[in-house]
A and B are shown apart, each in its own frame.
Chain A
Amino acid sequence: MNTLRQYDLAFNALGDPTRRAIFEKLEKGPLSVVHIAEGLSVTRPAVSQHLKVLREAKLISMEKEGVRNIYRVDQDGLRTIHEYLERFWDDALDNFKRLAEQAENQKLKNQKQ
């Protein structure tokens, strides 16, 4: 699946208020279905359906721990943002360094005159 399509899925998945609430809960840490459903005014089967949509959008992942399924935020999404900002700041600081050193040289030149 291409990246753009994946993002469309993610946007759609988060377009629903219940799914957004679930995702925000999981951002604080991994949880089982029971704990995810706590405080939500929807049935357990509905919660499971929402979890399925979030998983398909690769926003969350699931792991079996004993008899329980534990859901957590998928780190790939975070990794993408991290990589993007890493490159952004590398580019930005390269530019900044060049500019600051030009300004320093200019100051030194002016002092000599």
Chain B
Amino acid sequence: MSLTTIKKEVLVEAAQEIAFNVFTQKIDMWWPRTYHIGKCPMVESVLEQKHGGRWFTRHEDGSEANVGYIMVWDPYQQVILAWQIDGHYQYDPKLITELEVNFIPVGTGRTRVTLEHRDLQKLMGGPKDIEGMDGGWGMIMERYKGVADAA
């Protein structure tokens, strides 16, 4: 197992087109609520449906927080997203880690969805100044543990 790559696979009882549309259009509904980088609670997660489209979250105070953008838009087979959140949970426009998602039909009404998040070593290093300390990776980890333990 490589520490610099995450590979996931899930078999979904749904047609390829539906799987693709749910992944890209309903990202707001499957994105785990506890993970976001805005300063206040998240209202929705948005993916603009086109090549080069923005990927961002909207928050209760009306602010938006960038997550990344669409590098490859190939309905209904593939989408490659640029994930631009570093290891301290800060958006960094210069950082690009690729998130490749493939939708492979398996017979009728079934789709194998593979996901690969590459170059995780780039997420290390983190913020360019000390201000990144609040809301940093450690805080998120603590919060995550809180939620996981309560569940």
| Chain A residues within CB distance 8 Å of chain B | 3-4, 6-8, 10-12, 14-15, 20, 23-24, 27, 73, 75, 77-82, 84-93, 95-101, 103-104, 107
Contacts and interface: CB of A to CB of B under 8 A. Distances in A.
Contacts of A75: 3
A104 B126 contact: no
A35 B2 CA distance: 27
A89 B7 CA distance: 9
B133 A89 contact: no
B125 A27 contact: yes
Chain A interface mostly helix, strand, loop or mixed?
helix
A82 B124 CA distance: 11
B106 interface: no
Nearest to B109: A104
Contacts of A79: 3
B125 A104 contact: no
B8 A90 contact: yes
Interface in B91-126: 109, 111, 113, 115, 117, 120-121, 123-126
